[in-house]
Amino acid sequence: MSASTDDKTINNAKRSYTNGEVTIIWDAQKCQHSGNCIKHNPAVFRPKERPWVKPLNSTTEEIIKTVEKCPSGALTCFLNSDP
C-alpha cells in the first residue's frame, strides 16, 4: 500500500487517511470539535486545508497518541499490518 494524503470516503460520515503504516478514521457524526487533535498534532490535523488530515506530516507513534486523546471517539486508527 502506498502512502496517501488523499482522503477516502468510507460512508457519508466517515473518512480514512493513511501514511502507509497507520490509517486514521474520522467519523464526522461523532466529532464534537473539541480541538484536541489540532492541539496535540497540528502538523497532521489541519482543519483549514483539504484534505484536513495529513498523516505524512508525523510519525505513526505520534498519530496514535493523538488519536487516543479524542474525547468523542470520532478519531480511531489501526496499523495497516493488523489483520
Number of domains observed in the structure of the chain: 1
The answer, yes or no, to whether residue 35 has pLDDT greater than 60, is yes
Separation between Cα atoms, residue 27 and residue 39, nearest integer Å: 19
Write down the pTM of the prediction. Answer: 0.84
* Cβ proximity of 19 and 3 under 8 Å: yes
**Range of 56's domain?**
4-79
User: What is the CATH number for 11?
Assistant: 3.30.70.20
Q: What is the DSSP letter of 3?
A: -
The answer on pLDDT for 4 being more than 70 is no
pLDDT digits (tens, 9 = 90+) for 10-27: 667 899 999 999 999 999
The span from the CA of 30 to the CA of 47, in Å, is 16
Helix (H) or strand (E) holding 60: helix 60-68
| Closest by CA position to 23, among listed 82, 83, 77, 81 | 77
